[in-house]
A and B are shown apart, each in its own frame.
Chain A
Amino acid sequence: MFLHFSAGRKLDFFDLDISFSCSAGKMLVLIGPSGGGKTTIVRMLAGLEKPDRGTITFGDEVWFDCSRGIHLPPRKRRLGYVFQDYSLFPHLTLFENAAFAAVDHREVNDLLDLFGIGHLRDRKPHQVSGGERQRCAICQALARHPRLLLLDEPLSALDVVTRRELREELKILKTRISFPIVYVTHDINEALFLADAILPVVNGRADAEWMHRAAGGESSTLSPPRAARAPRLALAY
């Protein structure tokens, strides 16, 4: 399955206008400074926001086409979306959260075990740590058998150790799945560690130079060995 996004929208401070593609089993990382439009792009992919123009297609399916007046609602896109901070349902246990939209409830326990939170299945979200909540949010998204996975800064609210652990788990997860993943972050190391392709987004536009500028300005956040084997930029993808 191939995701293609080519759409735009007038935002308060700039005009978002961007195109990219992502194929099955690949992770495209949208990176850039805060307020640059990354989350808006992901919300457009999810159907939570509507572009002013352009198209969004997934395989043969048209999710959005401005000229034809097509806008598929979020519930019909069958995708997984892990929000920046936890959007779990507080009245449900971790198991009930993960099973909320599960295709096969028998898989849910396996998923919880896979992410190391099986023993917390009967706890409510407020009774577990931030990392455990976010693991549960990923289980919830995966249990739906999504065709596309959107991860919007899923690690940003976590402490350094948990962030590193979960990053490793996501790296392993990536090798096991067969659908595209769009991942949003402003952390260059995270992007370089996880991405198959990177798309820097600045003020709503693709900006290939941003990575170099950010790496030069914040050399401590970009480890040279990883930079040397950096994934290609999505601009040329």
Chain B
Amino acid sequence: MDVSALYITLKLAVATTLILVVVAAPMAYLLAYVRFPGKSLVETLVYLPMALPPTVIGFYLVMFMGPRGGLGRLWQMGTGHPLLFTFQGIVIASLIYSIPFAIQPMKAAFLKIDRRMIENAYVLGLSARETFFRVVIPNSMSGIVAAAVLVFLHSIGAFGILMMVGGSIPGETRVASIAIYEAVETMDYRGAALMSLSFIPVSYAFLLLVNRLNKDG
């Protein structure tokens, strides 16, 4: 069994989850409450990774993060290293791949909050930012946890996009889903079975948690 692949998978999923919860919360709030021109276009763009084949997203990310792509070039200038085929590279890919799964439950949770509660916070002297942290976030915890769980599960299951952006470098970009694929390719069925089995209790427990949260919420 490729333990380092399991470790990389866990590291990637935790990084993606932590970053997305922080980044997606204000975006979801914006999409839930703020009216601005072109909002539906922006919202559709945010959800696009859910509707595209992972290899298509992977292809565009390779172009964008490669040495001639905008982000790849900037990264190279800033760090002296390429972005493709690195752990940082697959984190970026994973963030883009999972962003709809963070935004959707959070937006739904924010929309469930009674508008009068938010107005009451404004009347009581809170700014929009203070209202977000003191009223909206504490009353949307079930949606935020659901988003975190979904992102985590989605990240540990990513395959095609990570293969394209990160390849399969042991200890760096080879995640468990890729290791399982390669184990099967090389007819190491025992290794593939063990790694596959390790996913089931984790995914089951997390999905159970999401169901509980949905019931409570």
Could you tell me which A residues sit within 8 Å of B by CB distance?
46-48, 73-75, 77-81, 83, 85, 87-91, 100-101, 140, 144
Residues of A within 8 A of B181 (CB): none
What DSSP secondary structure best describes chain A's contact surface? loop
Q: Do A74 and B122 touch across chains, with their CB atoms under 8 A apart? A: yes
Q: Do A89 and B139 touch across chains, with their CB atoms under 8 A apart? A: yes
With A83-B116, A87-B116, A87-B117 known as contacts, the answer to whether A75 contacts B123 (CB < 8 A) is yes
B135 within 8 A of A: yes
With A74-B119, A83-B116 known as contacts, the answer to whether A144 contacts B124 (CB < 8 A) is yes
A150 to B125, CA, bound (A): 15
A18 to B8, CA, bound (A): 67
Further pairs besides A81-B120, A89-B139, A144-B125: 10, Cβ < 8 Å: A46-B119, A46-B123, A48-B119, A48-B122, A75-B126, A77-B123, A87-B117, A89-B120, A90-B139, A101-B124
B216 within 8 A of A: no
Q: Do A75 and B122 touch across chains, with their CB atoms under 8 A apart? A: yes
B127 within 8 A of A: yes
What is the count of residue pairs linking A and B with beta-carbon distances less than 8 angstroms? 49
Partner pick for A75 among B116, B125, B135, B139, CB 8 A cutoff: B125
Residues of B within 8 A of A48 (CB): 119, 122-123
Residue of A nearest to B138 (CB): A91
Instruction: Give residues 119-170 of B contacting A (CB, 8 Å).
Output: 119-127, 135, 138-139
A90 to B122, CA, bound (A): 16
Residue of B nearest to A75 (CB): B125
Residue of B nearest to A101 (CB): B124
A90 to B121, CA, bound (A): 13
B185 within 8 A of A: no
A48 to B131, CA, bound (A): 15
A46 to B125, CA, bound (A): 11
Q: Do A89 and B135 touch across chains, with their CB atoms under 8 A apart? A: yes
**A–B Cβ pairs within 8 angstroms, 10 of them:** A46-B123, A47-B122, A74-B122, A75-B122, A75-B123, A87-B119, A88-B117, A101-B124, A101-B126, A144-B125
Residues of A within 8 A of B117 (CB): 87-89
Residues of B within 8 A of A144 (CB): 124-125
A221 to B124, CA, bound (A): 35
Q: How far does the Cβ of A100 sit from chain B's closest Cβ, in whole Å?
A: 6
Partner pick for A73 among B120, B122, B135, B138, CB 8 A cutoff: B122
Please list the 3 inter-chain residue pairs (A to B) with the smallest Cβ-Cβ separation, ordered nearest first: A101-B124, A87-B120, A87-B116
A77 to B117, CA, bound (A): 18
Best-surrounded residue of B117, B122, B124, B138 (most CB of chain A within 10 A): B124
Instruction: Give residues 5-54 of B contacting A (CB, 8 Å).
Output: none
With A83-B116, A87-B117, A89-B117 known as contacts, the answer to whether A101 contacts B125 (CB < 8 A) is yes
Encode contact with A along B95-134: 1 for CB under 8 Å, 0 otherwise. Answer: 0000000000000000000101101111111110000000
With A87-B114, A87-B116, A87-B117 known as contacts, the answer to whether A79 contacts B139 (CB < 8 A) is no
A79 to B135, CA, bound (A): 19
Q: How far does the Cβ of B141 sit from chain A's closest Cβ, in whole Å?
A: 8
Residues of A within 8 A of B138 (CB): 89, 91
